[in-house]
Amino acid sequence: MSDSLLHQIALCQVPQVGAVTAKTLVQHCGSARGVFEASRKQLLKIPGIGLAVVDQIQKPEPLFRAERELRFLEENQVQALFFTDPLYPFRLRQCYDCPAILYFKGDRLDWLNADRMVGIVGTRKPTEYGKQLCAEFVGDLAAFNVVIVSGLAYGIDITAHRSACEKEVPNIGVLGHGLASLYPAEHRGTASKMIRRGGLLTEYISDLAPDREHFPMRNRIIAGLCDALLVVETASTGGSMITADLARQYARDIFAIPGRVRDTRSAGCNQLIKQDVARLVESAEELALAMRWDDFHTHKKGIQTSLLLDLSETEFAVYEAIRQQPEIGIDALAYHLGTASATLAHILLHLEFRGIIRSLPGKRYSTS
């Protein structure tokens, strides 16, 4: 372990220095080590850095704590990634409030930069139906070579992780505490399996215990780490809705499984769909189609002919009009067919969900 990592860890242990402030300090001082070697006068010239922060930086405690942490990392085969590290998750780095440092225990560090990552969140008290759907989605997503990300909590989270382990889908659990412990302890067996194909990820130093305020912070990592976020079952408030809102802020694709009207455990999913925050999905293939993953179209070619035979006369006319153009906008299509836009939008959605056409930016369509 280098002195550079020592100072990187130490910087994240300075009281009153959060992720954003740590990155500001590094930007002005050139490195984490540079922050500790800077004079009091130099530090005070940095925008937003006051006397209280400078006093904390110049105390010895952060470096002492970092030395202890280095020993823990070495003894427990934990890898640390500072935000300047080339291996730091590139999706997460795009988020302005991403953690300044991450700690990862797993078999392969490159899982954090996999080609396709899907976050799965939901209530801690799901229905049997919700758990079944969650497991089905994870199993079916395996065909699209994804890495599953969740929070290792009770309910939907642990269902997603267990299903991923059973189907040998790599998965990452994002923790709200340090790696010296595991919460909840009942999930230790699943966590051990995850380390063999995936891993555990946290921004917290090893001896930091679980705390209520850590879990909303943990949710921003789940949201930022993934390409798509799937909400399975959730109330209209709570951690899953926080994660969905963060994913929206980070411009991630959000999907939700609809539930029964007046079922409180589906109220959040239904709300996300009604407010156009999330897209309604009923299968992993619908999610893959919306994400435009090439595997989906390859997988569908073999059954394309049978799908066309099942189309109504109106649906087939829409398909034919789209097929004759490299791509076509919904307004031009409505004009060509003499069909109301509202009616056409319903047909287009149906054809898209079946994998017969695909949507493009700007409300344009082409055949799959």
What pLDDT, in 10s, does the model give residues 257-315? 999 888 999 999 999 999 999 999 999 999 999 998 865 554 444 445 556 666 788 88
What is the model's pLDDT at position 309? 60
What is the model's pLDDT at position 302? 44
Which residues fall within 8 angstroms of residue 157, CB to CB, at 6 or more apart? 120, 121, 122, 124, 150, 151, 173
Beta bridge partners of 159: none
Q: What CATH number should be reported for the domain whose range is 109-290?
A: 3.40.50.450
Amino acid (one-letter) located at 14 = V
Alpha-carbon distance of 354 to 178, in angstroms, equals 44
122 to 73, 105, 152, 304: CA distances (angstroms): 31, 24, 11, 34
pLDDT band at 175 (very low <50, low <70, confident <90, very high): very high
94, with CB counted inside 10 A (0-12, 13-18, 19+), is exposed
Residue 173 has pLDDT above 70, yes or no: yes
- Say what percent of the chain tops pLDDT 90: 74
Q: Which of 141, 109, 116, 103 is nearest to 232 (CA)?
A: 141
* CATH 1.10.150.20 for the 1-75 domain, yes or no: yes
What is the model's pLDDT at position 3? 55
What is the model's pLDDT at position 314? 85
Name which residue leads in pLDDT, 342 or 162: 162
The answer to whether 156 and 137 are in contact (CB under 8 A) is no
pLDDT tens digits along 177-231: 999 999 999 999 999 999 999 999 999 999 999 888 888 899 999 999 999 999 9
User: Hey, how many other C-beta atoms are within 10 angstroms of the C-beta on 262?
Assistant: 8
- Mean pLDDT, range 2-12, rounded to an integer: 88
pLDDT tens digits along 111-160: 999 999 999 999 999 999 999 999 999 999 999 999 999 999 999 999 99
What is the model's pLDDT at position 213? 82
Alpha-carbon distance of 274 to 18, in angstroms, equals 35
CA dihedral sign, ordered 312, 314, 317, 321? negative
* CATH 3.50.50.60 for the 302-367 domain, yes or no: no
pLDDT tens digits along 324-340: 887 888 888 888 888 88
Residue 1 has pLDDT above 50, yes or no: no
What is the model's pLDDT at position 304? 52
131 to 111, 155, 158, 231: CA distances (angstroms): 25, 8, 10, 12
304 to 308, 319, 320, 357: CA distances (angstroms): 6, 12, 14, 10
pLDDT tens digits along 72-126: 999 999 999 999 999 999 999 999 899 999 999 999 999 999 999 999 999 999 9
Q: What is the mean pLDDT of the chain?
A: 91
What is the model's pLDDT at position 308? 63
Residue 319 has pLDDT above 90, yes or no: no
Residue 235 gets the label, from left (phi > 0), alpha (psi -120 to 50) or beta, of beta
What is the model's pLDDT at position 32? 95
Query: What ranges do the domains of the chain cover?
Result: 1-75, 109-290, 302-367
DSSP 210: P
DSSP 45: T
